[in-house]
Amino acid sequence: MVVTFFSFMVSLILSLNILLAIPIIFLERREPSSTWAWILVLFFFPVGGFILYLLLGRKLRKKHLFRWEGRKKIGIEKLIDYQMEAIEDSTFEYRLDDAAHFKDLIYMHLSTNHAVLTQDNSVKIYSDGAEKFKALLKDIETAKDHIHIQYYIFKMDNLGRHIYNELIKKAKQGIQVRVLYDEMGSRGVHKRHFKELIEAGGEVEVFFPSILPLINPRLNYRNHRKLVIVDGRTGYIGGFNVGDEYLGLNKKFGYWRDTHLRIEGSSVHPLQTRFILDWNQASDNQDIEYSDRYFPTFSRKGEVGLQIVSSGPDSEWEQIKIGYVKLIGMAKKYVYIQTPYFIPDDSFMDAVRIACLSGIDVRIMIPNKPDHMFVYWATYSYIGQLIKAGAKIYIYENGFLHSKMIVIDDEASTVGTANIDFRSFKLNFEVNAFIYDRETSHQLAELFEQDMQLSTELTPERYANRSRIIKMKESISRLLSPIL
């Protein structure tokens, strides 16, 4: 009887896994690598794999996820159409020679992402958390109308409470304050922790909150964006979240090396639009309506060309990834890449390999301190392939490297929230600034070269001599990489 019951349960579990595998293979039209990864999980971990699939494997319903009629009022559709047509018939006015060289990339972002080109920006680069948050707090303190804050991780530790207390002060002064955070990234933080801010007149929303405690069918789709917009005139975008570790105060990670931008100019408007779209998706009854206060006119701030590009599982194209691939393909001299995770798809790997084999100086920097073990060893496996193609690999030793940056030829660059992995390319909601400016790109390249002095090169010999245990970790992690 016991044997019969056991046999019945085994048959039931195997049948259930087969039934789950059918939609993955035939209905969801995933990439083969992702399909095989889920099939492996389902068959090697029948019960646990079933639960994981329900939580992490189901595709996101895209219909009407982000809606905001205010885009028509700020004239963004007309501006997009004008820029596309002008680029097509070669009548577009490039006030900056640096941008004109990248008209194909600019057009691609316009057509796939409605990312307008602005040419009047000033950009300040921050690679140190203390400096970045000092500047941010100053902008918060001097805000005159509104403060919009969006972070993947917002911790109520020393840094988080410092920012939180400043927001309360501004809300009590009558400044409009809105905070949006991701539930998965900010686990442990709840709306009740923002009670004093809400009582002072501030507003707080959560992206993709759980239906019930510990039950969230959209758990796998995370809003990884980090944006701050102050008065519609100043914007922040980059890799820093809010937490003491981003100030280098976590013993596990040590110094936190990241890249963040402070922007003034017309590109603040696309940053504002992105925030409003995300806010309205998360809000049940506090939608932001169009108002001139969010899109003020101002005199020209600088001469940096910028496009703000978003991507996520809601869109048809992997906009940031194809922007990365196109940018690398346009390099003539060098490509510098910084990323905490390197788990690319075939298209990205091919772009980097082609650059290497074409004689381009390709340098990739990854951290020495892993924060996700499987991701770290999967990164090592992909890096090994590029060493064979001629890429130079650097392991950052001065703490944790969290920067998401690509620079080519001292001419163009991109900084934002998107890592080089399947999650950022396909599952996370991300945002990057694509920069068409020699001076800014040169500054980013100099930061990379300074970081090289704090890094160890992973030579072909050193990689070939890694232990069998590391090789085994790489192999297992790589099999699971499409769903990490």
**From CA 176, how far away is CA 291, in angstroms rounded?**
13
128, 231, 278, 345: the catalytic one is: 231
Is 224 a catalytic site residue? yes
Place of tokens 């009558």: 174
148, 224, 260, 321: the catalytic one is: 224
Is 231 a catalytic site residue? yes
Task: Tell me the two tokens of residue 7.
Answer: 């046999």
How many C-beta neighbours within 10 Å does residue 481 have?
A: 25
Is 361 a catalytic site residue? no
404, 410, 421, 437: the catalytic one is: 404
**From CA 475, how far away is CA 233, in angstroms rounded?**
48
The answer to whether the beta carbons of residues 135 and 141 sit under 8 Å apart is: no
The answer to whether the beta carbons of residues 414 and 324 sit under 8 Å apart is: yes
Is 409 a catalytic site residue? yes
114, 155, 226, 321: the catalytic one is: 226
**From CA 338, how far away is CA 481, in angstroms rounded?**
19
Task: Tell me the two tokens of residue 196.
Answer: 């004093």
How many C-beta neighbours within 10 Å does residue 193 have?
A: 16
CA 305 to chain centre: 20
The answer to whether the beta carbons of residues 459 and 122 sit under 8 Å apart is: no
Element (H, E) at 119: strand 118-128
Residue 160 exposure: Cα atoms within 13 Å on the Cβ side: 20
98, 182, 409, 451: the catalytic one is: 409
Measure the CA angle with vertex 200, ends 195 and 201; round to 5°.
Answer: 100
Is 404 a catalytic site residue? yes
**From CA 425, how far away is CA 229, in angstroms rounded?**
25
402, 410, 421, 473: the catalytic one is: 402
Is 422 in a helix, a strand, or coil?
helix
Place of tokens 């809003």: 223
Is 469 in a helix, a strand, or coil?
helix
Is 124 a catalytic site residue? no
How many C-beta neighbours within 10 Å does residue 329 have?
A: 18
Active site residues: 224, 226, 231, 402, 404, 409
